[in-house]
Amino acid sequence: MEQPVTVTIEDSARAPTTLSVQVSSLSWGARLGRGLKTLGALWLASIASILIPGLHFVLVPGFFVAGLVFLVLRVRGTVRLEPGSFPCPKCGVAVPIEDGTTGWPAKCACPDCCARLSLTPR
């Protein structure tokens, strides 16, 4: 279910501006599914990296821990921003909202001036 949400766009150099974006809320099951899919992929990479001599001392625990970290991060995103764009507050170029962006705060980067922008609901 999509709904419009007024967000504040912030970067470190300018006063915050506001904008309306479409968001859809993610159910607990959808969030858990996304998290478990990521966990499974990273743990498969962990198991596969057992076969790499030398590097397996770093890759196996690295992928294992990364799986747990990304599980928590994927479950925490309660809304998904619909793909679109908004004008950069610094240079005015359209900043894309990538498909799969979750919040809050949602992070975007201007493709022209590389400003790191943070979108938070008002």
Residues that bind Zn ion (CB under 5 A): 88, 90-91, 110, 112-113, 115
- Give 66's contacts (C-beta < 8 A, 6+ positions apart): 42
Q: Which is nearer to Zn ion, 26 or 115 (CB)?
A: 115
Q: Is the dihedral of CA 73, 77, 80, 84 positive or negative?
A: negative
Query: Smallest gap, in angstroms, from Cβ of residue 109 to Zn ion?
Result: 9
Beta strand spans in the chain (E): 2-10, 17-25, 79-81, 84-87, 94-97, 102-103, 106-109, 116-121
CB of 105 to Zn ion, least distance (A): 18
Q: How far is the CB of 11 from Zn ion (least distance, A)?
A: 9
In the complex with Zn ion, which residue's Cβ is closer, 30 or 113?
113
Looking at beta carbons only, is 97 or 110 nearer to Zn ion? 110
